[in-house]
Amino acid sequence: MVLARSGTTLAKRGHAEDVVKRRMKIVWIESYVRRARQMAAASLMCLAALLAFQTNVHATQGDEDHERIRSLAEAYAREVARQIAPAHATIKAEAARLDPRLRLPTCPVSPQTFRQVESFGGRTTVGVRCPAAPGWSLYVPVRTQIIADVVVLSAPVGRGTALSADVLRLDARDIASLSTGYLTTLGDAEGMLLRRPVTIGTVLTPALLERPRLVHRGDRVRIRAADETLAVTSEGEALADAAEGDRLKVRNVHSGLVIEGVVDAAGGLVALW
């Protein structure tokens, strides 16, 4: 009877100890959760303070002036154009308007310009960047014009007609948009032949002109071959039409050999050794 009572007492004591342990565990978990919540709240307060500080700094610095960015891009484009423009050309550059929603912090130093992206028709893209904190970069489209006098046709001229000064004039054009080339002096076009008919006011380009033929197929051509110690002349038959400076093949009328040379101003052939 005594043993039974002792067992019952031990069982009650063990149960009480389990209850105490569970309560202590619950208290520890509740304490841990409170500390975690406190730390999270403190972190959120720090983050809010940091964001408020950054906002205040940005407000203090202000936004970068879009006009300053555009002005720098235009100056860079003009300088690049000046390096390739003819003398006395007028150079104009206009940067595109930036999106008014674009807000960049004011650069504490003068922004830098860098390599531009070339495109056709005088349109380029210039890079502008802030080299100091907070640091930013963007590309600005710029329209560049190089106004210079070029040779244009001033009177009707048929295909194959030799050009003279009275059918030519100089006219101011935007050469940045002349992708096929242009001529800047009347002498560049005088004596040249039109490859095809063009309208009055057309800008004359190298592709529209050709030199007059000095030699025609079947013509007798004087051949001259020379080096530092020896000069030989002979006669040949032209195998094609050619202008001054063209390479031409002729057949020697005496030996039958085919010789290649360059046509000179007199219509003769300077043989190529």
pLDDT in tens, 90-129: 999 999 999 999 999 999 999 999 987 766 568 889 999 9
Residue of 130, 123, 126, 122 whose CA lies nearest to 148: 122
Query: How far, CA to CA in Å, does 258 sit from each of 81, 223, 224, 235, 255?
Result: 49, 11, 14, 11, 9
Mean pLDDT of 253-258: 88
Residue-level pLDDT at 23: 61
Q: Is the pLDDT of residue 45 over 70?
A: no
Mean pLDDT of 189-208: 92
Residue-level pLDDT at 168: 95
Q: Is the pLDDT of residue 203 over 80?
A: yes
Average pLDDT, the chain: 81
Taking phi over 0 as left and psi of -120 to 50 as alpha, with beta for the rest, 160 belongs to left
Between 73 and 52, the higher pLDDT residue: 73
Mean pLDDT of 3-25: 54
**Which tens digits make up the pLDDT trace of 130-145?**
999 889 999 999 999 9
Which pTM value belongs to this model? 0.62
